[in-house]
Amino acid sequence: MSSNSFRVMKFGGSSVGSPRRLRQVIELIGKHARTGPLAVVVSAQGDTTDWLLEAAELATKGDLEGSLTVVARIAHLAKTNAAALHPAQATTLAARVDQLLAPLQQLLQGISLTRECSPASKDKVLAFGELVSATLLAELLNAAGTESCFRDARLLLVTDDTFGTARVDVARTRTQLQASAAGWGTSVPVIPGFIASTVDGRTTTLGRNGSDYTAALVAQGLGATEVTVWTDVLGLHTADPDLVSDAYPVPHLTHAEGLELAAVGVRMLHPRTMIPLIESGISLRIRNTMHPDHPGTLIDAIGSRDGNRPTCIATREDLALLGIEVRKLSDQFQLGERVLSALRAARVTVWMTAQSANGQSIALVVPLPDVQRARTALEAELAQELSRREVEPLGVRQPVTLLTLVAEAMGHGVNVAGRFFSALGAVGVNVRASAQGASSRSISCVVDAADTSIAVRTTHAAFNLAHQQVNLFLLGKGTVGGQLLAQLRAQQDLLRERHGIALRVVGIADSRHTLFDASGLALEGLEEQLARVVRGEPGTQALPPLLDELRRLPVPILVDCTADGGVASLYTEAFRRGIHVVAANKKPLALPWNEREALIAEARRHHVGYHYETTVASSLPVIDTLANLVRTGDTVRLITASLSGSVGFICNELLAGVPLSTAVRSARDKGFTEPDPREDLSGADVARKALILARELGLSLSLSDVALEPFVPTLADANESPDSFLRSLRSLDAEYAQKVERCRQSGTVLRYLARIDPTRLGTDSPVIRVGIAAVEPGQPGADLRGTESFVSFTTTRHSEFPLTVRGAGAGGAVTASGVLADILRISQTLRGR
């Protein structure tokens, strides 16, 4: 950069709205003025522009006193800021403020008398904010030792007379700027932003982001190399930080990316600001006044050379979606052209259009306040077609949000749109309309306003984070739930670093307490945190409101580690909210066939996962294996299985000569059985598992169809405590020792098996049998050890040698690992690898 090249710095209202920030501005200008020619553009202080609008409105209503009270508020802010920075000149500066605002008071008096504030008068009112701000800044700079001079933008920028949004005469403006600059010498010109004037000297304003536009025009006119916009953020972020806590500043963008972001309404950019910079090859840097050492965001012709550069997610809220559709394909009458022309004439801004390939329907996104005006204009334009019913009545959906991805690299990659819509669909966000520009730098879609937060967070995670965030709501902290938490603690860092998955527990509930924090719960001591919660018994009816919070987080998963028989309705509520379910709970799958099918259908309808691999054989991939057999067209002829690791352990203890009562107590002490071992010994648990497998084959069976022989028969007192029951088992020790001996004499081993034979469907013989069996050597399950389970599939393709899945089938740690595997399966599916 040549030492004679100008740089332009623009300071927004928040940067000059308080003494602390104003002092920082003066220091920054002084520092940069020593390194070469510098021009400064400044906005009105703080909320001054809003106050001026309020004053004009009050004056228009005839309330001159109220209007002048607002002027006094403006004067007080300016005087306070000036006095804090230069106390010695406080009186002089206060008088200067009064002098500057005296014409404003006269103007408001005139407005109050006529009860009319024309666009030209409003522009004159609004100009006082920037005039006061720039005048005071120039004087404070001089007082601080930086030579500066106030330069009235109305003598530099020439516009037409479109008051409120004046159009700039670029050629005349360049001439005026260059002529004025010749007399600036070494002083720093301080130029009010936002305002300009017509050729005949009438004050105009430049509209939204007008001060940034002023800075761009000054830079273009002076041949500057860079414009720096100093504001209250660290730069353009990957998303709105108020919506996405993980959003971060983007270091480098191209001019084209900046223009795309401006076009979709990013607050810090405007197309009018970008165009002069693009035309002249001037870079734009956005920096934070209070963090001057941070580099901020640089926008230039080159952009980032990093192939993995971030994607910006822009949102524009408070919009409405209008839909127009022609009834007959033959009735083509330039629908898009007519509609856009009508809205343009009605001065309605259109933020997005999406037209069908044949031109028979069009969707338009307009500001929410303009809906009625837009409706009136369109109905007038299409009045004849509407009367002949050639056009459907105008559809309006409101409020909606426009969500846009912007990145130069998008046009160079594949499946960007697929990833975009897949990420939204995975969390249950409906896309109401979409559009992609020819540049391929951006893709936009319309979502319901209620889905804004979840849509932005999900999309941001899909495109900008090195990890996929997954949010878990855990039901149950018993044996399986507690082990799952332990495994999450142990694996959390590894999953993030090696697999790009960030698992967070945001909720946990047991039968008496519920704990929820959308920002994530600390895993250390989580069980103790839950126990300290002062809350009544939640029940499934109290959890849906928390599901509403869960659904707004990326990849929400309800994890059920309970044995609650009444959670099916909670699953349904989760599915309807786009929440995945991972369950170790068998009971919802053993409901009557129609209820089970409705549950599965609900998950499919809402495109969410329902994974329950651990309901049959802990972490063994039994259900997945069976599903793959069926999906690939194989026919399952017979399933033989040992489905209870706890009963399998007891059988092995019996074979080793251990009495039944001792074996059962040992199984319970090791955590292999339920707290009440009768649930295992009754065979009901195995029956449910066998039923689940049979239903995976499409067999519409129920628990009553299972021919069940308990492993241990029900003893006389069903209400006795588990400990009393264990003591009463001693009466059966001899009987079970004899069973084992008979098997030994016949060369077999005692097992408790489930047998599913689909060929018996429609016969008098039961399809599912569960009971004690003598297994011959060489048969699947004859040599099981400890808590091992097995499932053997005899199929058309695996007839001579059945396909067998075998491994540990009991224990909280094993089951929890299967639950975690199901969670990761959902995470990796959404991540696309």
Q: Hey, which residues are catalytic here? A: 689
CA distances from 539 to 245, 291, 511, 535, 825 (A): 32, 49, 7, 11, 28
Paired residues of 300 in beta bridges: 254
Q: What string of DSSP letters covers 191-223?
A: EESSEEEETT--EEE--TTHHHHHHHHHHHHHT
Q: Which residues pair with 638 in a beta bridge?
A: 794
| Closest by Cα among 738, 740, 737, 733 to 774 | 740
Q: Which long-range contacts (CB under 8 A, 24 or more apart) does 49-57 make?
A: 49/13, 49/126, 49/129, 49/194, 52/125, 52/126, 52/128, 52/129, 53/122, 53/125, 53/126, 55/104, 55/108, 55/125, 56/108, 56/111, 56/117, 56/121, 56/122, 56/125, 56/126, 57/117
The H-assigned helical ranges of 434-504 are 452-464, 479-499
Q: Using only C-alpha atoms, what is the Rg of the chain?
A: 37
519 Cβ contact list (under 8 Å, min separation 6): 245, 506
**Using an 8 Å Cβ cutoff, are 775 and 786 in contact?**
no
Query: For residue 399, is the peptide bond before it cis, meaning its omega torsion is within 30 degrees of 0?
Result: yes
Q: How far apart are CA 573 and CA 550, in angstroms?
A: 12
> Strands 580-583, 610-611: parallel, antiparallel or unpaired by DSSP?
parallel
Token output for 525: 């001591």
Q: Which of 463, 422, 450 is nearest to 314 (CA)?
A: 463
Q: What is the DSSP letter of 715?
A: P
Q: What is the DSSP letter of 470?
A: E
Q: Residue holding tokens 């049959």? A: 616
**Contact yes or no for 781/790 (Cβ under 8 A):** yes
Rounded Cα–Cα distance for residues 830 and 463 (Å): 12
- Measured CA to CA, the distance from residue 450 to residue 429 in angstroms comes to 10
Tokens of 392: 């459907």
Q: Which of 671, 763, 677 is nearest to 726 (CA)?
A: 677
Give start and end residues of each alpha helix (H) in 144-206. 170-181
Name the DSSP class of 555: S
* DSSP per residue, 733-747: HHHHHHHHHHHHHTT
**Residue 332 — φ and ψ, nearest 5°?**
-100, 125
